[in-house]
Amino acid sequence: MSENIHGTFISEKVSKIRWKPEDFVEAKSFLTGSWDNPVNHITYWTFDTNEEDDESYPVIISSHAFLGDVTELRFISKDLFVASSSIGTVQLLQIQENPYAQFKERLSWNFLHKFPASDYASCTAISTFEQDIVTVGEDGTINLLTANQKIPVRTIEKSDSCSMHCVDFLRHSEVLTGNLLGHMKVWDLRNNQDVPSTTFILSANTKTEATSLAHHPTQRHIVVAGGGDGSLTVWDLRHNTYPVSQLNAHSSSVSEIKFHPDRPENLFSCSSSGQLWHWNNAQNTKLKLDSGDTHWLNTISTKGKVNVTSMCATLHKPINTIDVDRSTLLFGCDNEAMYVIKNIAV
């Protein structure tokens, strides 16, 4: 498979990589965010076809300086995206193509996350649901924003006494957060009290942080979380908060988990040990389209029907981020390079 991989060194460690969504056609441009530089960048890329060998290579369209590490990038529409930073700021930016490609700042929530002693706190993760944005940070605060309003809709201060590391919208009125010790909390946003409706634990034995969260694209109640110890934990939140399966997957911290947006029987995970894995259950779903209440992720540990393939040779540095559109997968790594894998088998 390795001949399908094309790497580009960009002189910055890549913390996030995201496809710019397109309607009905293959996405052809994407964003990267960097970290650990005094001034980081969000860069807008597209593919350019080389005439010599008819291969397409990523080229920069424009680059936008960004204060702090880029901790998350999320598109909320075709050209609007939200970017969060390690100095606690969240920005809503728009990609403008005319007269020349640039980012226009639509809204900026400055220092949304901060410590009492006037110290900024990192905004570690954001999640979006249509126009709604939820942010969590090292200060243990949850902020609820909406894309057309400068003032946060709601702020739950001290929602967690540890720093939170991941967040996901379960539905429009419910978010799930995970903290440094792997405590997972479900927050019902209709409830005015600042207490979680449910709390459960990522892993009972080891105290490890929840690093990444992903829900199934069509069955939102199925949630996968990656742990700091490299494990993947799956819950079916309809039934209870006891994990339906837990796997020792990667050899160190899981950095990101992504379901394939159109083909949810494919799951991708990457880790700080430089591994990139593809979890596929295609045969199973072809036989029975909907196997009722049990999802394949529930049974991976017991039945072992899932194919797990490594998508590339283990890299020497942590892979921080992945994104997938149709048959092209992008990933960014701490070796200051990003990679494109074409024609993945989904």
Partner 1 sequence: MAEVSNAQIIAIPDDVCRRAGLAATWIGQNKIGVHAYKHINAHSKDVPSSLAPCEVKVHCLRQEVILFEPALRKLVNESNGVFLAIQKIKNSTEDLRPELLKYSKHYRSILRACVENLQDVVEKSTPDKKPTFENYLTIFYNVECVWHLTEILYVNVVPGDVILPQLLEWVRFHFPSRELMASKILAKKSLAADLDNVQYWEAAIGCALHGKLDTVRSLLAMHSKADNPAFGTAENAIRTMPVYNVYGGYSVNEFNMRWKHWQFDLSSQIESKTFSTDRNLELLMRLIVGEELVLWEFSKYTEAWYELLAARLFYSAPCSKQPELARHANHIAEKWRAGRYLDHVILALMESDLHQVIKEIQHMSDNGWFAAHLINLLYNCGRLDIIDKHQINVTSQLHESLILDYASTLMGHHSLWQCGASYFEHCPAQGLTRLQALLESIPLGSEARVNKIIEIARQKHMTNVVTSVSKIQGMKCIRQGRLGNALAWALKAQDGAFATFIADQFLKNYAKHGELECQDLLENLGSCMLISDRLTFLGLYRKYCEFHQTYGLGEFKDAAALLVSLLVSNLTPKYFWSILLTDAIPLLEAEDAVLSSKDTFELLQTVEEHGNDPKFQDKIDLFRLAAARNLARALNIEGCLGDH
Residues of this chain that bind partner 1 (CB under 8 A): 9-13, 15, 35-38, 69, 71, 86, 115-117, 119, 122, 124, 138, 140, 160-163, 165, 179-181, 183, 185, 196, 199, 201, 204-205, 207-209, 228, 252-253, 272, 315-318, 334-337
At its nearest, how many Å lie between partner 1 and the CB of residue 166? 12
CA distances from 36 to 8, 251, 274 (A): 19, 24, 18
Dihedral sign for Cα atoms in the order 283, 284, 289, 295: negative
306 C-beta neighbours (distance < 10 Å), count: 19
Closest separation in Å from C-beta 212 to partner 1 = 12
Residue closer to partner 1 (CB basis): 3 or 293: 3
Using CA atoms, how far apart are residues 209 and 192, in angstroms rounded to an integer? 27
Q: Which residues, 6+ apart, have CB-to-CB distance to 10 below 8 Å? A: 32, 34, 43, 336, 337, 338
Tell the smallest beta-carbon distance from residue 252 to partner 1 (Å).
6
Q: Are 76 and 131 in contact (CB under 8 A)?
A: yes
Tell me, rounded to whole angstroms, the distance of Cα 313 from its chain centroid: 22
- State both tokens at 310: 């490594």
> Closest distance between partner 1 and the C-beta of residue 264, in Å?
28
CB of 228 to partner 1, least distance (A): 7
Nearest approach, Cβ of residue 17 and partner 1 (Å)? 16
- What are the C-alpha distances in Å from 97 to residues 108, 122, 164? 21, 31, 36
CB of 20 to partner 1, least distance (A): 24
Q: Give the CA count within 13 Å in the CB-facing half-sphere of 289.
A: 0
- C-beta of 149 vs 161, nearer to partner 1: 161
Cβ proximity to partner 1: between 264 and 274 the closer is 274
List all residues 6 or more positions away from 35 whose beta carbon is below 8 Å from its beta carbon: 12, 13, 14, 15, 69, 70, 71, 86, 320
Query: In whole angstroms, how close is the CB of 93 to partner 1 at the nearest point?
Result: 21
> Cα(81)–Cα(75) distance, rounded to whole angstroms?
4
* Cis before 58 (ω within 30): no
Q: Kindly tell me which of 116 and 292 has the beta carbon lying closer to partner 1.
A: 116
Of the pair 124, 280, the CB lying nearest partner 1 is at: 124
Cβ proximity to partner 1, 26 vs 119, nearer residue: 119
Contact, 95 vs 20, CB < 8 A? yes
Minimum CB distance to partner 1 smaller for 94 or for 335: 335
Q: How far is CA 57 from CA 6, 103, 123, 338, in A?
A: 8, 22, 32, 12
Q: Which is nearer to partner 1, 316 or 342 (CB)?
A: 316
Decide whether 214 or 337 has the Cβ nearer to partner 1. 337
- Cβ of residue 55: shortest distance to partner 1, in angstroms? 16
Question: Among residues 126, 80, 141, which one has the least CA distance to residue 106?
Answer: 80
